[in-house]
Amino acid sequence: MARRVQGRVRGSRAQWESMATTLPAILDERASWKAAGQSVVFTNGCFDLLHPGHVALFEAARAEGDILVVGLNSDRSVRALKGAGRPLIPETERAETLAALEAVDRVVVYDEDTPLAVISALSPDVLVKGADWALDAIVGREEVERGGGRVVRVELRPGRSTTSMVSRIRRP
């Protein structure tokens, strides 16, 4: 019996390149996923420097359902949220990297400061965020719960954040 390896990367570039897509394309697929009885999980973030904490979040999120869609902040929205000097990695490269992870089924880049429009359109069955987010501060929580879905907060791995990585790299 094969077992899933944390952080495993898809086999070929062609296999994962098509996983980074547009919201209209994902919404078309959403209809077929729903018809097939598959549950959709959504999580989002900047994912500027991929690290083991991100991989653990994706693995935990994927375990909550059948299809994991990751919303990715565009370069413009990362700058608005994190300030000058960010993102460190362009959105196309971040999307490509996320799509290569076995736990991730689709990646959609959004330009807004929050993923509310994506969440409202997608209507995921499960919304996953890190436990550093208070339940009442999770964007899209009300929309997901109103649609009969649920919100899951995943425990974080201590010391695993892009901000702490950048600090360590820039430390003299």
Whether 31 shows a pLDDT value over 60: the answer reads yes
The predicted structure's pLDDT at residue 163: 67
Please say if the pLDDT value at position 8 is more than 60.
no
Q: Which helix (H) or strand (E) holds 75?
A: helix 75-82
Q: Tell me, what's the pLDDT at 168?
A: 74
Rounded to two decimals, the pTM is 0.86
Q: Looking at the domain 13-170, which fold is it?
A: Rossmann fold (3.40.50)
Strands annotated E in the chain: 20-21, 40-45, 67-73, 106-110, 126-130, 150-154
Residue 6: is its pLDDT beyond 60? no
pLDDT band (50, 70, 90) for residue 19 = confident
- Please state, in angstroms and rounded to a whole number, the distance separating the CA atoms of residues 83 and 122: 28
* Other beta carbons less than 10 A from residue 21's beta carbon: 18
